[in-house]
Amino acid sequence: MAAADYESWYQPPKGDSEIAKLTDVVLRVAEAKRPPIGWYVAFTLAVGMLGILGISIAWLFWTGIGVWGNMHPVVWAWDITNFVFWVGIGHAGTLISAILFLLRQPWRTAINRAAEAMTIFAVMCALIFPGIHIGRPWLPYWMLPIPNQMNMWPQFRSPLDWDVFAVSTYFTVSLLFWYVGLIPDLASLRDRATTTIRRFVYGAFAMGWRGSSRQWHRYERAYLILAALSTPLVLSVHSVVSFDFATAQLPGWHTTIFPPYFVAGAIFSGFAMVVTLLVPARQFFGLKGVIEMRHLEAMNKVILATGTMVGYAYAMEFFIAWYGGSPYEGFIFFNRAFGPYAWAYWTMVSCNVIFPQLYWFKGVRTSLVGMMIINVLVNVGMWFERFVIIATSLHRDFVPSSWGYYIPTKWDFLTLTGSFGLFFTLFLLFCRYLPMVAVAEVKAQHAHTHGGH
């Protein structure tokens, strides 16, 4: 049965016009009775991992964050590493949809929807960590601008508080941006709906969109401005996250290059993740026609570019450490590359700087296997980048007597795995029930290029 459905992805799309075919090829994914078998496999896995997240958080609440390996002096470890990692991932979507939109990059339409969805899910994963990493995880709301029971306000000088605002704003705006983009496609789904339930649910979310030109007019204007707003926002979010470190006076954190360096890194990892997700998705759901190789290739080019930027940042850090002449900073960086955590450092360098260079070759850029391997490696590397920045700077700071070596516990691993569970669960649900490609935009694109026949 499932197999039959699986076949169905490859039947020619219905519809008597080009546009109709386009609609059908994208929307039938969401309308199919059953998703392909692969979806089930992936989903079971993802939900399992999600369960792990639930368990590890419950255990954390019950006993205390001591279940993690965090110690003195490395009081921040995987918790914040994961946070920064996920926020980084969350940068691709809005960047693609906003910046590329402003830059009028036609190829974005194929991937922006999925990318935005991924952004939102990634940011959700990120938002977990600031909440649970604190010692009394039942009190994170004390960081919000509401008076706590001591009638106090947050201390707005703290970069952690900036984070709260930056990330939550980013989440809200990305969500709106995504939803606004969805409205016309939801309307299409509503109008193609076969059952009342689907009709009602999609209808409710489409909010009665009927494609009136007067509405299109305001819609387009709103969308354009949202894009304009999101662009600086994307750049600001990871800059603010980098302030957590840059404004501290810890050698290895206290560097002015962090904001651009973090943003580049974020785009880098985000794009890698998008490709990692889309390659299997387009295979499963027969969207090869829509998400074409040229799109993926363009993505890989961006990865190559940002990867090189990140490499430049690494080099520059060392140069400044030497040129700045602060003995403490000098040591930190020397220690990073050759100290006890050298293994982590070189993993990071090879994954982020060396492997992406293979993208200079078109052959690699355009081979599915090649890009899958490299992009997964990039994600590994970017996780390590955050770990290296946080742990290696902390583990040997000013006073040698408090030097230490951080070792993760099983709960560190489980929590990280769990966060991936959440991410994949949400993404798979998205693939199943929402249009993975912005149909309306693609149609407009199509009509524009083929000039209405």
Partner 1 sequence: MSEAPKKTKHTGPAPLHGLLAEYETPNALIHGAEKVRNAGFRDWDTFSPFPVHGIDGAMGIKATILPWLILGGGMTGFTLALGFQWWANGVDYPFLISGKPYWSVPANIPITFELTVLFAALTAVFGMLALNKLPQPAHPLDLRDRFSRATDDRFYVLVQASDPAFDERDTRALLEQSGAVFVEEVPEDAASESELPRGILYVLLIIAAASTIPFAMAAYARESKTTKTRFDIIPDMDFQQKFKGQRMNTFFADKRADRPELEGTVAVGELHDDDHLYAGKVNGSFARTFPAAIKIDEATMNRGRERFGIYCTPCHGQVGEGDGMVHQRATSLAEGTWVPPSNITEERVRLIPVGELFNTVTNGVRNMPGYGHQIPAEDRWAIILYVRALQKSRAAELKDLSEQERESLIRGG
Partner 2 sequence: MSPVSKKSDKPTYWRSIAELEGRPEFEQFLEHEFAEPVSDLPPTSDERRRFMQIMGASFAFAGLTTGCRWEQDYILPQTRRPEGLIPGEPRYYTTSMDMGGYATGLLAKSYDGRPVKIEGNPNHPDSLGAANVFHQASVLELYDPDRSKGFGTYSGGKRTDSSKDEFIKAIKPLMAAHRSSQGKGFRILAESTSSRTVADMKRRLLAALPEAKWYEYEPVSADNIRLGSELAFGAAYRPNYAFDKAAIVVSLDSDFLGSERAAIRNAQSFMQGRMPEKGEMSRLYIIESAYSMTGGVADHRLPLRSEFVKAVAAALDAGISGKGSPSAEMGPAQARPAAAFLEDPKVQKFVAAIEKELLANKGKSIVIAGEQQPPEVHALVHRINAVLGNVGSTITYYPDFTADRLPHKDAIIQLGKEMASGAVDTLVIIGGNPVYNAPADVGFDAALAKVKNTIRVGLHEDETTMKSGWQVPLAHYLETWGDTRGYDGTIGIQQPLIAPLYGGPSVIELIALLLDDSTKEGLDLVKRTLAASMGDDRLWRKAVHDGVLLGSGLAPVQPVLKPLGAIALSDREKAGVAVGNGQLELTLAPCPKVHDGRYANNGWLQELPDPVLKLTWGNAALIGPATAKELGVDDQTLVKLTMNGATITIPAIIAPGQAPGSVRVVLGYGRTAVGVVGIGSRLDYGLIEDYAAEYGAGDLELVGVNAYPLKTTEFGRFGGGLNVQPTGDTMKLAMTQMTHAIKDKIGRDEVQRRVPELVREGTFEEFKEKPAFAQEKVEHKALLSLWQEPVSYDKHKWGLSIDLNKCTGCNACVVACVSENNIPVVGRSRVIQGREMQWIRIDVYFRGEPDEPELAYQPLTCHQCEHAPCEQVCPVGATMHSREGLNDMVYNRCIGTRYCSNNCPYKVRRFNYFNFHEELKLEKNQTKKMMFNPDVTVRFRGVMEKCTFCIQRIQNVKIKAKNTRRAIQDGEIVTACQQTCPTGAIVFGDLNDEKSRVRALQNGPRSYAMLEELNVRPRLKYLARVKNPNPELS
- Residues found near partner 1 in the complex (CB under 8 A): 15, 17, 19-20, 23, 136, 138, 145, 151-157, 159, 161-162, 165-166, 169, 172-173, 176-177, 179-180, 184, 187-188, 190-192, 200, 203-204, 207-222, 225-226, 229-230, 232-233, 236, 240, 243, 440-441, 443-444, 447-448, 452-453
Nearer to partner 2, 370 or 408 (CB): 408
Nearer to partner 1, 41 or 222 (CB): 222
User: One-letter amino acid identity for 245?
Assistant: F
In terms of C-beta density within 10 A (0-12 exposed, 13-18 middle, 19 or more buried), how is residue 416 classed? buried
Nearer to partner 2, 154 or 370 (CB): 154
* Rg of the chain, C-alpha, whole Å: 23
**Hey, how many other C-beta atoms are within 10 angstroms of the C-beta on 135?**
9
Which residues, 6 or more positions from 69, have their beta carbon under 8 angstroms from its beta carbon? 77, 78, 406, 407, 408, 409, 412
Q: Is-contact 444 211, C-beta < 8 A?
A: no
Tokens of 63: 């006993």
Residues that bind partner 2 (CB under 8 A): 63-66, 69-76, 133-137, 139-140, 142-143, 148, 150, 152-155, 157-161, 164, 244, 247-250, 253, 327, 331, 334-335, 338-340, 394, 396-404
| Shortest distance, position 153 Cβ to partner 2, whole Å | 8
Query: Which option in partner 2, partner 1, none does residue 199 bind, with CB closer than 5 to 8 A by kind?
Result: none
Query: Which option in partner 2, partner 1, none does residue 319 bind, with CB closer than 5 to 8 A by kind?
Result: none
| Shortest distance, position 353 Cβ to partner 2, whole Å | 23
Q: Is-contact 139 90, C-beta < 8 A?
A: no
User: What DSSP letter does each residue of 162-186 carry, written as one string?
Assistant: HHHHHHHHHHHHHHHHHHHHHHHHH
Q: Among 289, 276, 299, 297, which Cα is nearest to 367's? A: 297
Nearer to partner 1, 159 or 339 (CB): 159
Query: Which option in partner 2, partner 1, none does residue 54 bind, with CB closer than 5 to 8 A by kind?
Result: none
Q: Is-contact 270 98, C-beta < 8 A?
A: no
Nearer to partner 1, 209 or 285 (CB): 209
Residue 236 half-sphere exposure, CB side, CA atoms within 13 Å? 17
Query: Which option in partner 2, partner 1, none does residue 71 bind, with CB closer than 5 to 8 A by kind?
Result: partner 2
| Shortest distance, position 150 Cβ to partner 2, whole Å | 6
Nearer to partner 2, 197 or 399 (CB): 399
